[in-house]
Amino acid sequence: MLKNYAQKILEVYPNLQINSVILNENGQNNTVIEVNHELIFRFPKYQQGIKELHEETRLLKFIYKYITLDIPNPIYQNLESQTVGEVFVGYRKIPGKTFDMQAFHSMGHEDLCVIANQLSQFLLELHNIPLQEEFKDHLYQQNQYKYWENMYKRIQEKLFRYISNENQIRVRKHFEDFLNDRMNFQYKPAIVHGDFGVGNILIDLKLPKVAGIIDFGGSHVGDPAVDAAAIISGYGEDFLKQMYGFYPGFQSTESRMRFYLGTFALQEALFGIENNDEQAFKNGIFNYQ
């Protein structure tokens, strides 16, 4: 299987010498392989993933000059095809270890402050990138009310049969309270990472410092509070509060932040049922049954 991916790369870049190919990650949306221990290639698994990879690549090329930390810089790409298994992008591997819970709990307060500062700086840079019209057109979830209303309808239609009556009441209240408060849609749109979680932050444990940020597949123009919610989901409220000192604007997003946080598992279950990903569905629906 990995040989097939290597062959697809060589068809486009015949002068690239490939000495080793290993599976880096078999994620929800992409198969990710590592070539020569120094290059990362991502191959979308679905037709929708091809469109998303186009948008992600275009976004990365646009934001690269605004971001201080290392982020993927696509230097290899085959985006002309519309065939799953042929489309890919490749970039130099960002060295570092995933900032997982083991790494998080191994750090003292001062080291976590350093990490919080760097992550805040990254988000400040990202959220303050000037928006060009082309990105508003292609990436902006233009009517946020309709976006969340539509998601709520899909959750009711596709997931409620698997959710207990008690949790159905909880989900209804969660969405309807949010949708009925128009102030939740009065914010300045910004480019957001969209999946600012444990798996997409890389650190250098020796220093310690943030080594880089990866996987911009969920990036869009929307509410910066989405990224704050992901921090709570991954590292807890105390760590987010450490970031307030470097990014005070996050404090004013708290009500929206909590709404987004309460949708993450449901979004995973919905993704699973809409894309025949049984594991994603099970992971997302587990606490609602």
* DSSP secondary structure letters along 121-144: HHHHHHHTSPPPHHHHHHHB-S-H
pLDDT at 141 over 60: no
Same domain, 238 and 107: yes
Band the pLDDT of 87: cuts 50, 70, 90: very high
**Which of 13-17, 22-26, 173-177, 235-239 is predicted with the least confidence, judged by mean pLDDT?**
22-26
- CATH of residue 277's domain is 3.90.1200.10
Half-sphere exposure of 60 (CA within 13 A, CB side): 23
Q: Which residue has the tokens 């489309």?
A: 87
**Confidence at 137, pLDDT banded by 50, 70, 90:** low
Q: Are residues 83 and 126 in the same domain?
A: no
182 and 249 inside one domain: yes
**Domain final residue pick, 92, 107, 130:** 92
The pLDDT of residue 214 is 94
Token pair of 119 as six digits? 């992550």
- Same domain, residue pair 171 and 218: yes
Q: Any idea which residue has 């976006």 for tokens?
A: 147
Residue 57: domain span: 2-92
Query: What pTM was computed for the model?
Result: 0.89
Choose between 15 and 52: higher pLDDT. 15
Domain boundary among 60, 92, 124: 92
Looking at residue 110, what is its pLDDT? 93
Query: Do you find a cis peptide bond into 208, omega within 30 degrees of 0?
Result: yes
The reply to whether 43 and 166 lie within a common domain is: no
Listed residue (122, 107, 126) closest to 239, CA to CA? 107
Could you tell me the pLDDT band of residue 259, with boundaries at 50, 70 and 90? very high
Of 151, 229, 148, 237, whose CA–CA distance to 196 is shortest? Answer: 229
Residue whose token pair is 């123009």: 221
The proportion of the chain whose per-residue pLDDT surpasses 90, expressed as a percent, equals: 72
User: Over 70: is that where the pLDDT of 149 sits?
Assistant: yes
Same domain, 127 and 182: yes
Q: Return the number of other C-beta atoms located less than 10 Å from residue 135's C-beta.
A: 20
Average pLDDT over residues 124-148: 74
Of 92, 112, 135, the residue that ends a domain is 92
Mean pLDDT for the chain overall: 91
- Which pLDDT belongs to residue 49? 85
Q: How many angstroms separate the CA atoms of 151 and 155, rounded?
A: 6
Does residue 50 sit in the same domain as residue 157?
Answer: no
Residues 108, 87: one domain? no
Q: For residue 63, what is the DSSP state?
A: H
**Stretch 117-123: mean pLDDT:** 97
Whether the predicted pLDDT of 113 surpasses 60 = yes
Domain count within the chain: 2
105 and 75 in a common domain: no
CATH label of the domain that carries residue 67: 3.30.200.20
Same domain for 87 and 182, yes or no, is: no
CB 28 within 8 A of CB 280: yes
Residue 30, pLDDT score = 87
Answer yes or no: do 281 and 261 share one domain: yes
Verify that 87 and 120 share a domain, yes or no. Answer: no
Instruction: Convert the chain into a string of H (helix), E (strand) and C (coil).
Output: CHHHHHHHHHHHCCCCCCCCEEEEEECCCEEEEEECCCEEEEEECCHHHHHHHHHHHHHHHHHHHHCCCECCCCCEEECCCCCCCCCEEEEECCCCEECCHHHHHHCCHHHHHHHHHHHHHHHHHHHCCCCCHHHHHHHECCCHHHHHHHHHHHHHHHCHHHCCHHHHHHHHHHHHHHHCCHHHHCCCCEEECCCCCHHHEEEECCCCEEEEECCCCCCEEECCHHHHHHHHHHHCHHHHHHHHCCCHHHHHHHHHHHHHHCCHHHHHHHHHHHCCCHHHHHHHHHHHC
Q: Mind listing the pLDDT tens digit for each residue in 203-221?
A: 998 888 999 999 998 888 8
